Amino acid sequence: MSHPANEPYVRNAWYIAAWPEELEDGLVARTIMDRPLVFFRGPDGKVAALDDRCCHRGAPLSHGQVHEQGIQCGYHGLVFDGSGACVQIPGQDFVPATARVGAWPIVERQQCIWIWMGDPDAADESLIVDYPWHDQPEKWPHKKTTFRIEANYMMMIDNLMDLSHLAYVHRKTIGGNPEAHAAAEMVIEPTANGCHYERWMIDSPTPPTYVKAVGFKGNIDRWHRFTYHTPSTVIQNNGAIDVGKDARKNQDQPGLHFQILHTATPETETSFHYFWSVANGYRQNEPEATQQLFDESYPTFLEDKALLEVQQQRLDLDPDYRLVSTGLDKALTLARQALHKAIAAERPAASDAAE
Amino acid sequence: MSHPANEPYVRNAWYIAAWPEELEDGLVARTIMDRPLVFFRGPDGKVAALDDRCCHRGAPLSHGQVHEQGIQCGYHGLVFDGSGACVQIPGQDFVPATARVGAWPIVERQQCIWIWMGDPDAADESLIVDYPWHDQPEKWPHKKTTFRIEANYMMMIDNLMDLSHLAYVHRKTIGGNPEAHAAAEMVIEPTANGCHYERWMIDSPTPPTYVKAVGFKGNIDRWHRFTYHTPSTVIQNNGAIDVGKDARKNQDQPGLHFQILHTATPETETSFHYFWSVANGYRQNEPEATQQLFDESYPTFLEDKALLEVQQQRLDLDPDYRLVSTGLDKALTLARQALHKAIAAERPAASDAAE
Amino acid sequence: MSHPANEPYVRNAWYIAAWPEELEDGLVARTIMDRPLVFFRGPDGKVAALDDRCCHRGAPLSHGQVHEQGIQCGYHGLVFDGSGACVQIPGQDFVPATARVGAWPIVERQQCIWIWMGDPDAADESLIVDYPWHDQPEKWPHKKTTFRIEANYMMMIDNLMDLSHLAYVHRKTIGGNPEAHAAAEMVIEPTANGCHYERWMIDSPTPPTYVKAVGFKGNIDRWHRFTYHTPSTVIQNNGAIDVGKDARKNQDQPGLHFQILHTATPETETSFHYFWSVANGYRQNEPEATQQLFDESYPTFLEDKALLEVQQQRLDLDPDYRLVSTGLDKALTLARQALHKAIAAERPAASDAAE
């Protein structure tokens, strides 16, 4: 039995499965929604996602290697193309039609490799979350990586929906005074497929790190904006510009800007792959500024990982334990409601698509 | 299914949960009887034991830190006092009455922190095992620590009820000739809540280590005395004085004396916390003598830990396997009988108190 | 539920349990068919196999030590002889007849220690696989060891029944061109209790390593011969002699010869002990040649271990997954058929012998 805070999978949705740079040196093995998969770039340049198990004797294809016709099993040399069809069996001319492994829809777009683990006929590319920042390397140079986190994927969404955790989880890194942001104006609202919230601090004192980063001379207008797209993507935009420039209507002025993509792709019910990307929108010509932004984010996100993993252990110990809501949970509650709507929407379809 | 040598928990009883010195630097996380707990000293100086799980999102409180009003969750900053009541929720003035976590009776006495995991109305402090040696630092300077051992707690009691294991388990440390003690006089008898045994060697040759320790000139009268108090405490007293001083009636004469407190607090059915303390009653003004006694006990008790853990593994593999009693098991049998009486006594109460 | 490629145990059969050299320094603890056993050489020089659990308090006998009358428990000193009977209980004269542990038939023959885990009345020594090479240290000096592999034992037999894996699993070690051996003549045939296959390459070019090893001047006749004996032994013979010497009829001529014994003794349903031995039949007077043959085999067999373990993980994940046969599986299919016959033959007997 599972704690109710653990959410089931939404199958008819796109998830990030890998970053393109992970495939530069060969294949990647990764389990998604309990299914071991192998990813590789085929001879046609397209990324393929196959079940990571040879149909002959069950060896993982990821134990083999990328081959000129696809991927070759490391046991007896069978070769499979990107559609999962076996195209070569050493020692025999005939390849039976039953010799194939499962293949999954993949779309590579905006520096992300997206996978669809549901009904293939419903794999509508227009549903992929738009992330144009990755396509603007001059305006938004970025750096990205992935962590494996042992918690239900929605624990990460909960975490991002409530910034009050910064003062506690990130006490030793970004931290900050829990009271300092109390005067911020908050807007929290549902969206068509998720929710959105933003915090505005108008005419506020400039933190020393901000001065150092971009040389502000006086007070600033600051904001954080988070948008959750079901089932598991959050787009974060942070900014600050000189006071008096009408920031609310015109955020795209010089100042301090950074952009983060967070996605949580379920591995099992109680683990996920956390793909994250940070983009530098303030000193774009300085690769070391992008690297520094990444290097500062890394230990901070490891603190989230540590917290989520011990939280999950406690929930797993007692599935009957009922959590108590607080006033901090407004965005979290909207996010969960949006997810539940997405789960309900696919239930008839899901029961067909399930193996 | 569990091997019958594994005993169930006695809930209506006091167990050592921590040593006071463990709380000097902050909180302690420890699972007792399957329940993760967090221990800390509150602003009133009293030790509190709370369920180690925030009522808000389930994070372990032990991932947070001690706070001026109690303990603060490391996720969103909720604060709980020693009674388990939430006394602060960041960002809101109102704290609902449902915001609380479980709290357990604690008594700090004689340098031990005792916990009661049963019916709180039955938590009678007079039932706590008396250990006055800890209150006499000048006469009995002591040193203590704890091991986590992967075995049912009664495996430790069995171990202490049969000293014949010294020659085999402790072959490389205290060991000794298995035949040497054969002439000892043995007394084994039941007590009101456990059992007691003692071994007397009257007018026996003095071991070189004893001569070195306290300078005996001739033969000595030696004794070992063990008292088991249900469910899981054993008090051990060892002594030797010059022959001819009527040791049986007057043990409190100068000589070689040391005192050990052993307790086994169940963590799970097949693991326990072994709290032990050794007190030096022979060269009390020399801290290095106390340290040496501790340093010699430490590897010896690790040998017991290693043995108990492999024993438990074997028992777990085959719960149907029936053990064969020998003549060595007299005290062990009395101890088990006393425990069974304690278990039977609380069964009606236990079924109410069980969550 | 278990994948159908995992085979159950054949109990009425002999398995290698240990190599004699493993017992030179004392006892060996090893689980066979889910049963923890302890092996030691008794005072009569005979190897004994006892259940690795003292009948007194359940401690593993392997935590004790070899004793002049058998093996002594490391907890309270009980001693058991090679028949499993307790022959000494410290502190008492009487040893009850119930004080004993299980013992298993053992035969030491041809440098192997064989165990029978089935009905003891059926333990017919004539069923032991003959391996005379171990008895000819001058003609066939050998070296042997054991690996623990986390896979069903028949995964190893499958592996040995299909040499096409050499080009893929052993790409980095012995490897070789997958096409090079295509012209070999193959013979695959069932035997009374298993199967046999051989590959002949008549008048073929001599590999440089062969020239270096034994100084061939021209082309050679080469062969590999594998014989599977149910349930889990494979005898491998490799050879090469100068062309034109009628190799098929007279293989025992000077040239390059080596001999391998492979056995897979089940530890659990999904793990086994892989005992292997390599014998040098070409430069018998040079111990360094035997050592080199062993040193080259070692990393190669570790590659098999790695492959089998990941294969087993995949099979365990989805017991319903059906494998697809290929033309490579002829010998494998004969081996599995022979095993199924052996399993069927003992089913009535097995249900009696099962504990």
**Between vectors from CA B253 to CA B247 and to CA B257, what angle results, nearest 5°?**
90
pLDDT at A180: 58
Residue C1 lies in a domain: no
CATH code at position B234: 3.90.380.10
Residues 6+ apart with CB under 8 A from A89: A56, A77, A78, A95, A99, C326, C327, C328
The answer to whether the beta carbons of residues C13 and C5 sit under 8 Å apart is: no
Length of chain A: 355
Contact across the interface for B57 and A313, Cβ inside 8 Å: no
Q: What is the rounded distance in angstroms from the CA atom of residue A211 to the CA atom of residue A240?
A: 11
What is the per-residue burial (b if ≥16 Cβ within 10 Å, else e) of A153-182?
bbbbbbbbbbbbbbbbbbbebeeeebeebe
Residues C131-155 have a mean pLDDT of 97
Backbone angles phi, psi at A265, to 5 degrees: -100, 120
User: Quick one: closest CA in A to C315, which residue?
Assistant: A58
Helix (H, G, I), strand (E, B) or coil at C259: strand
Contact across the interface for C164 and A36, Cβ inside 8 Å: no
- Relative to beta strand B28-32, strand B142-149 is unpaired
| Chain C residues 17-46 with a CB less than 8 Å from chain B | 36
Give yes or no for residue B115 having a pLDDT over 60: yes
| B168–C contact, CB cutoff 8 A | yes
The residues that bridge with A18 in the sheet, in sequence order, are A113
Q: What is the rounded distance in angstroms from the CA atom of residue A343 to the CA atom of residue A271?
A: 19
Same domain, A178 and A116: no
Q: Any idea which of B20-29, B139-148, B207-216, C223-232 has the lowest mean pLDDT?
A: B207-216
pLDDT at C181: 59
Cβ contacts from B onto C, under 8 A: 78
User: Which of C166, C168, C325 to mutate to probe the A interface, most A CBs <10 Å?
Assistant: C168
Q: What is the rounded distance in angstroms from the CA atom of residue A246 to the CA atom of residue A262?
A: 28
Q: What is the rounded distance in angstroms from the CA atom of residue A226 to the CA atom of residue A11?
A: 24
| Chain B residues 145-164 with a CB less than 8 Å from chain C | 158, 162, 164
Q: Any idea which of B72-76, B112-116, C68-72, C211-215 has the lowest mean pLDDT?
A: C211-215
**How would residue B204 be classed by pLDDT, with cut points 50, 70 and 90?**
confident
Residue C155 lies in a domain: yes
| B60–A contact, CB cutoff 8 A | yes
Same domain, A53 and A175: no
The residues that bridge with B47 in the sheet, in sequence order, are B41
Q: What is the rounded distance in angstroms from the CA atom of residue A69 to the CA atom of residue A42?
A: 7
Q: What is the rounded distance in angstroms from the CA atom of residue A2 to the CA atom of residue A317?
A: 9
Helix (H, G, I), strand (E, B) or coil at C33: coil
- Among partner residues B178, B315, B327, which is closest to C77 by beta-carbon distance? B178
Closest to A266 measured CA to CA, from A297, A301, A312:
A312
| Chain A residues 194-213 with a CB less than 8 Å from chain C | none
User: Which of B314, B315, B316, B321 to mutate to probe the C interface, most C CBs <10 Å?
Assistant: B314
Rounded to whole angstroms, what are the CA distances from A65 to A72, B117, B148? 5, 57, 45
User: Each residue's pLDDT tens digit in chain A (355 positions)?
Assistant: 899 999 999 999 999 999 999 999 999 999 999 999 999 999 999 999 999 999 999 999 999 999 999 999 999 999 999 999 999 999 888 999 999 999 999 999 999 999 999 999 999 999 999 999 999 999 999 999 999 999 999 999 999 999 888 889 988 776 666 655 666 788 999 999 999 999 898 888 888 878 888 889 999 999 999 999 999 999 999 999 999 998 888 888 889 999 999 999 999 999 999 999 999 999 999 999 999 999 999 999 999 999 999 999 999 999 999 999 998 899 999 999 999 999 999 886 544 444 4
Q: Where does chain C have alpha helices with state H? A: 153-160, 166-169, 208-214, 287-317, 330-353
Enumerate the residues of chain A whose CB falls inside 8 A of the CB of residue B96: 324
Contact across the interface for C58 and B5, Cβ inside 8 Å: yes
Contact across the interface for A76 and C5, Cβ inside 8 Å: no
- The per-residue pLDDT for range C277-302, each reduced to its tens digit, is 999 999 999 999 999 999 999 999 99
The three-state DSSP-derived secondary structure of chain A is: CCCCCCCCCCCCCEEEEECHHHHCCCCEEEEECCEEEEEEECCCCCEEEEECCCCCCCCCHHHCEEECCEEECCCCCCEECCCCEEEEECCECCCCCCCECCECCEEEECCEEEEECCCHHHCCHHHCCCCHHHHCCCCCCEEEEEEEECCCHHHHHHHHCCHHHHHHHCCCCCCCCCCCCCCCEEEEEEECCEEEEEEEEEEECCCHHHHHHHCCCCCEEEEEEEEEECCCEEEEEEEEEECCCCCCCCCCCCCEEEEEEEEEEEEECCEEEEEEEEEECCCCCCHHHHHHHHHHHHHHHHHHHHHHHHHHHHHHHCCCCCCCCCHHHHHHHHHHHHHHHHHHHHHHHHHHHCC
**How would residue B215 be classed by pLDDT, with cut points 50, 70 and 90?**
confident
Backbone angles phi, psi at B222, to 5 degrees: -120, 155
- The per-residue pLDDT for range B285-308, each reduced to its tens digit, is 999 999 999 999 999 999 999 999
The residues that bridge with B233 in the sheet, in sequence order, are B229, B263
Q: Any idea which of B330-339, C56-65, C250-259 has the lowest mean pLDDT?
A: C250-259
Give yes or no for residue C328 having a pLDDT over 90: no
User: Quick one: closest CA in C to B163, which residue?
Assistant: C76
H/E stretch holding C227 reads strand C220-229
- Among partner residues C52, C77, C96, which is closest to B164 by beta-carbon distance? C77
Same domain, B92 and B176: no
Residue A172 lies in a domain: yes
Q: What is the rounded distance in angstroms from the CA atom of residue C103 to the CA atom of residue B204?
A: 43
Gyration radius of chain A's alpha carbons: 22
pLDDT at A184: 77
More confident residue, A92 or B21: B21
Amino acid in position B213: A
- Relative to beta strand C142-149, strand C271-280 is antiparallel
Work out the minimum CA distance from B98 to partner chain A, whole angstroms.
Answer: 7
| A63–C contact, CB cutoff 8 A | yes
Contact across the interface for C63 and B307, Cβ inside 8 Å: yes
Q: How many helices (H) and strands (E) does chain C have?
A: 5, 17
- Among partner residues A5, A164, A314, which is closest to B60 by beta-carbon distance? A314
pTM for the predicted model, two decimal places: 0.93
Q: What is the rounded distance in angstroms from the CA atom of residue B31 to the CA atom of residue B53?
A: 12
Contact across the interface for B76 and A311, Cβ inside 8 Å: no
* DSSP calls for C72-83: E-TTT--EE-TT
Same domain, C63 and C146: no
The answer to whether the beta carbons of residues A86 and A80 sit under 8 Å apart is: yes
Give yes or no for residue C265 having a pLDDT over 70: yes
Same domain, A218 and A314: yes
Backbone angles phi, psi at A295, to 5 degrees: -65, -30
pLDDT at B11: 96
The answer to whether the beta carbons of residues A303 and A169 sit under 8 Å apart is: yes
Give yes or no for residue C56 having a pLDDT over 70: yes
Residues B188-197 have a mean pLDDT of 97
State the CB neighbour count (10 A cutoff) for residue C96.
Answer: 13
Work out the minimum CA distance from A55 to partner chain C, whole angstroms.
Answer: 5
pLDDT at A330: 94
Amino acid in position A185: E
Residue A4 lies in a domain: no
Same domain, A170 and A267: yes
Same domain, A293 and A166: yes
**Between vectors from CA A297 to CA A294 and to CA A299, what angle results, nearest 5°?**
115
Work out the minimum CA distance from B23 to partner chain A, whole angstroms.
Answer: 22
The residues that bridge with A277 in the sheet, in sequence order, are A144, A261
Domain termination residue (choose one: B63, B93, B125): B125
pLDDT at A354: 44
Same domain, C147 and C119: no
Burial class, B351, CB count within 10 angstroms (exposed 0-12 / middle 13-18 / buried 19+): exposed
pLDDT at A355: 40
What range does the domain containing A240 cover?
137-353
Q: What is the rounded distance in angstroms from the CA atom of residue B233 to the CA atom of residue B260?
A: 11
Residue C63 lies in a domain: yes
Same domain, C144 and C75: no
Residues 6+ apart with CB under 8 A from A77: A88, A89, A90, C164, C167, C168, C178
Domain count, chain B: 2
CA atoms within 13 A on the CB side of A230: 26
State the CB neighbour count (10 A cutoff) for residue C57.
Answer: 28
Chain A neighbours (≥3 Cβ pairs under 8 A) are: B, C
- Among partner residues B164, B169, B307, which is closest to C91 by beta-carbon distance? B164
More confident residue, A349 or B94: B94
Residue B7 lies in a domain: no
Residue B172 lies in a domain: yes
- Work out the widest C-alpha separation in chain A, in whole angstroms: 77
CA dihedral sign of residues C329, C332, C338, C342: negative
| A218–B contact, CB cutoff 8 A | no
More confident residue, C93 or A337: A337
User: Quick one: closest CA in A to C184, which residue?
Assistant: A91
- Among partner residues A162, A167, A311, which is closest to B59 by beta-carbon distance? A311
Domain termination residue (choose one: C125, C156, C173): C125
Per the prediction, chain C carries an average pLDDT of 93
| B93–A contact, CB cutoff 8 A | no
Give yes or no for residue B353 having a pLDDT over 60: no
The answer to whether the beta carbons of residues A272 and A151 sit under 8 Å apart is: yes
Place of tokens 């104006």: A185
Domain termination residue (choose one: B88, B104, B125): B125
CATH code at position C107: 2.102.10.10
Q: What is the rounded distance in angstroms from the CA atom of residue C73 to the CA atom of residue B92?
A: 64
Enumerate the residues of chain A whose CB falls inside 8 A of the CB of residue C323: 55-58
Same domain, A114 and A160: no
- The per-residue pLDDT for range B236-286, each reduced to its tens digit, is 999 999 999 988 888 888 899 999 999 999 999 999 999 999 999 999 999
pLDDT at B354: 44
Cis peptide before C231 (omega within 30 of 0): yes
Contact across the interface for C311 and A59, Cβ inside 8 Å: yes
CA atoms within 13 A on the CB side of B136: 12
Same domain, B100 and B143: no
Contact across the interface for C60 and B313, Cβ inside 8 Å: yes
**CA B251 from chain center: how many Å?**
25
Residue A9 lies in a domain: no
- Which tokens belong to A160? 């991002």
Chain B neighbours (≥3 Cβ pairs under 8 A) are: A, C
Q: What is the rounded distance in angstroms from the CA atom of residue B160 to the CA atom of residue B239?
A: 17
CA dihedral sign of residues B207, B228, C73, B329: positive
Burial class, A119, CB count within 10 angstroms (exposed 0-12 / middle 13-18 / buried 19+): middle
| A165–B contact, CB cutoff 8 A | yes
The answer to whether the beta carbons of residues B108 and B131 sit under 8 Å apart is: no
Place of tokens 């009829």: C249
Contact across the interface for C307 and A96, Cβ inside 8 Å: no
Give yes or no for residue C215 having a pLDDT over 90: no
Same domain, C110 and C137: no
Burial class, A349, CB count within 10 angstroms (exposed 0-12 / middle 13-18 / buried 19+): middle
Helix (H, G, I), strand (E, B) or coil at C328: helix
Chain C neighbours (≥3 Cβ pairs under 8 A) are: A, B
Residues B188-212 have a mean pLDDT of 90
